Amino acid sequence: MQTKSIITITGRPNVGKSTLFNRIIGKRHAIVTPIEGTTRDRLYGSADWRGNNFTVIDTGGWMPKSADSIEQLINDQIDAALHESHIILFVCSGKEGCTALDKEIAQKLRKYNKPVFLCINKMDIPEKNYQHDPDFYALGFEDMFNISAEHGLGVDEILDKCLLLLPEIIDSDKEDSIKIAIIGKPNVGKSSILNALLGENRVIISEMPGTTRDSIDITFHYKERIYCFIDTAGIKKKSKARDLPELISIIKAKQMIEKADIILLVLDCMEEIHHIDAELAGYALKHYKPLALIINKIDLLPDKNAGQKLINLELKDRLSFIHFAPHIYVSAKTNEHIDAIFLVLENLYNAYSQRIATHELNELLASDLTNYTLGHYKNTPVKVKYMTQIFIKPPTFALFLNKKAKVQKRYHKYLENIIRKRYDSIVVPIKLIFKFKQK
């Protein structure tokens, strides 16, 4: 569902497309390095210029004649982005001049019948009167700009010209969306699951671990909900992320966990649960984020019933600290149980937003905790005298004690289990805050 005017940035590898993307949206969203091929999927960012809001798409480096499978997938992503855009920013390098590949890309761009702005990047000295390579003029584009994306020079002129041509499209309120972070080790099927949910090949998929590097925000309408999916790059241990893009992706993925409303941790049913899986689940729990386990590739199980029983035992053993989190077995390849993920998301968000009446909580207190003590303070039993919910997202409960004492972790867990036993719909982390209730 398109809700904004769209500008797409394209060009050959390593001409500064991602730097220009970051400059326009005003924050570091795309990974920028001197390494060719850093951007692989199409990245969407929201930009505001002179009070006008629009979407900007960053694309991978275009290799029109490439036979490489990954590069061909990148080309497919670029083609999809160009088809949905209103204006195309064609980025070339002023330092390197107009190359044969630039000319080939220019020919490709003509078939889209959309305004193309030729952005000659890396013109870093504003007072210098650059003489363009004559071949740039020969490309035949009417609008040509000298820019330095790194320093912001000339970018305002491009945006002013864009505003003259961009159509007015009613913008949807992205703040109303439920933000979903899809996390997991590389090559467990995160992108495949996202594509299956969306019904389109929005994210590059291959058998090569680490295909998705940048975090991609995709707003999607399903029934009466608006979801913003974040397909994070696969997380690796830092010692194994030898190149800079992979290292940055680790950091960004954890940032997305912090920003998201709900976390989907994708596991491969053909692999044992790794300590990284436990680390990610723990990181989500630490930040009190609703979490569901999406166990993918069940089409590969020779005996699904037996296989799922073994996996359930492993989940109980390795991930017992999130025993309350729902898990679902799916196959992104065959679409088996994919639609059930939306039901899981709905239940998680409802639980995340759930509010329990104070009188119900104190009825629970009277029936289950009247005679229960949380240790002793100066030989006096420490007890909960009153309980109320003070926040949602996450559900947060204040428990007022008869004595000002520090409550040990084991009592936290016991009280949490009491609440969960009464309210089994709370399938998300909950937070307990202990206060001293003075007479």
Q: Is 154 annotated as a binding residue?
A: no
Binding site annotation covers 124?
yes
Question: Is 296 one of the annotated binding-site residues?
Answer: yes
Residue 122 annotated as lining a ligand binding site: yes
**Residue 252 annotated as lining a ligand binding site:** no
Measured distance CA(305)–CA(9) in Å, rounded: 48
- How does strand 376-377 pair with strand 380-381? antiparallel
What distance in Å separates the CA atoms of residue 10 and residue 79, rounded to the nearest whole number? 10
Q: Is 235 annotated as a binding residue?
A: yes
| 299 annotated binding-site participant | yes
59 is in an annotated binding site: yes
Residue 16 marked as a ligand binder? yes
Alpha carbon distance 148, 137 (integer Å):
19
Using alpha carbons, list the distances in angstroms from residue 57 to 91, 179, 200, 412. 13, 19, 17, 46
Whether 13 has a binding-site annotation, put simply, is yes
298 is in an annotated binding site: yes
**Do the annotations mark residue 171 as ligand-binding?**
no
In angstroms, the CA 234 to CA 191 distance is 10
Would the annotation count 185 as a binding residue?
A: yes
Q: Is 187 annotated as a binding residue?
A: yes
C-alpha–C-alpha distance, residues 395 and 414, integer Å: 17
Annotation-wise, does 140 bind a ligand? no
C-beta of residue 260 within 8 angstroms of C-beta of residue 348? no
Q: Per the annotation, does 230 bind a ligand?
A: no
Residue 437 labeled ligand binder:
no
Rounded CA gap, 285 and 276, in Å? 14
Which tokens is 437 given?
Answer: 């209730």
> Which residue type occupies 268?
D
How many CA atoms lie less than 13 Å away from 316 in the CB half-sphere?
6
Q: Is 427 annotated as a binding residue?
A: no
Q: For residue 234, give the DSSP letter.
A: P
- Candidates 387, 383, 382; CA nearest to 362 is 387
Q: Smallest Cα–Cα separation from 213: which of 42, 20, 437, 436? A: 42
Please state, in angstroms and rounded to a whole number, the distance separating the CA atoms of residues 159 and 257.
32
Check the annotation: does 421 bind a ligand: no
The answer to whether 320 is annotated as binding is no
- 188 annotated ligand binder: yes
Residue 220 three-state SS: strand
**CA geometry: angle 332, 334, 335, nearest 5 deg:** 60
How many CB atoms neighbour CB 368 within 10 A?
14
Q: Is 17 annotated as a binding residue?
A: yes
250 is in an annotated binding site: no
- CA dihedral over 155, 161, 163, 166, signed as positive or negative: negative
**Cα angle 81-211-116, degrees, rounded to a multiple of 5:** 20
- Please state the residue numbers annotated as binding site: 11-18, 58-62, 121-124, 184-191, 231-235, 296-299
- Please state the residue numbers annotated as binding site for GTP: 11-18, 58-62, 121-124, 184-191, 231-235, 296-299
